Amino acid sequence: MFAGFALDHIDVGDVVLRVRHGGEGPPVLLLHGHPRTHATWHAVAERLAEHHTVVCPDMRGYGGSSKPKPVRDHSAHSKRAVAADCLALMNTLGFERFAVVGHDRGSLAALRLALDHPTAVTALTVGDSIPVSEHLVRCDETFARKWWHWFFFAQPDKPERAILADPAAWYGGTPEHMGPEAWEDYQRAIADPDTVRGMLEDYRAGLTVDRDHEEADRRAGRRVECPVMVMWSTRDDLKELYPDLEGIWRGWTTGKPRMVPIESGHHMAEEAPGEVADALRGFLADVGVRG
């Protein structure tokens, strides 16, 4: 897994991030989703590393990265804090400008990075995601039935107790599906109480401070200025919930986003790494982020 990549723990100020990095060429930052670690990207990263320098951290609260103490307003786990971590990480590695790719919760952090630090981000790719405020303004019976975990995870203490009673049963996943090394890394993460608390704080931030930040962006008229690609898993339910996925994302961009379906279930980097890597390589080449 991650052949030819270095594994480091890098101090970025508030936290220390566990990060894999390798390859040569224009830099690309890959941000994982819940409940994964950076290892979810291993098969994609190895393909991209032929023409790009690829950086895969565990976000704060996840995997082997620092677990900040929760605070009342959940700002210690906000996407703004994650974005600042990522900017500091890339600067520490010597990159002032870079492309960023996020999946699931990582897409929210990637969006925040592009909005808060537009001069740093050369291209943005999001997967299986729309801005959290767009979910909430559209929240209906279907969303509540399919994505009920958002509201359960927001409750104090009880989600931690439910998950930690049997993490493997709660989250699922198999070594055949994920790759044996990635699965082992994931198993360690979901069985760790501090990591579970950190992952839940991510969701608590989403329904509070993250939503506030996005609504402030909309009032100020801020949009993503760099080229944007939106990927979605055809065997997941995002497009079912939001048939006008392109229209939603056009409201957050200054240009027209590239829309790319991926033939997979939700964890596209594990289920369809070749298709994901091909889409990323094509997009980055077309917008001038070439290897």
Q: Which residues are catalytic?
A: 104, 266
Spatial separation of the C-alpha atoms in residues 136 and 198, rounded to whole Å: 22
Q: Which two tokens stand for residue 36?
A: 């994964």
Spatial separation of the C-alpha atoms in residues 52 and 75, rounded to whole Å: 33
Count Cβ atoms below 10 Å from residue 128 Cβ, excluding itself.
Answer: 25
Which of 197, 132, 113, 107 minimizes the C-alpha distance to 159? 197
Q: Which two tokens stand for residue 291?
A: 């290897």
DSSP state of 59: P
Q: Are 36 and 51 in contact (CB under 8 A)?
A: no
Kindly give the residue spans of alpha helices, DSSP state H, lying in the chain.
Answer: 42-48, 79-92, 105-116, 132-137, 141-146, 149-153, 158-165, 167-171, 175-178, 180-190, 193-205, 211-220, 238-241, 245-250, 268-271, 273-286
Spatial separation of the C-alpha atoms in residues 177 and 172, rounded to whole Å: 10
- Exposure of 46 in the CB half-sphere (CA atoms within 13 A): 12
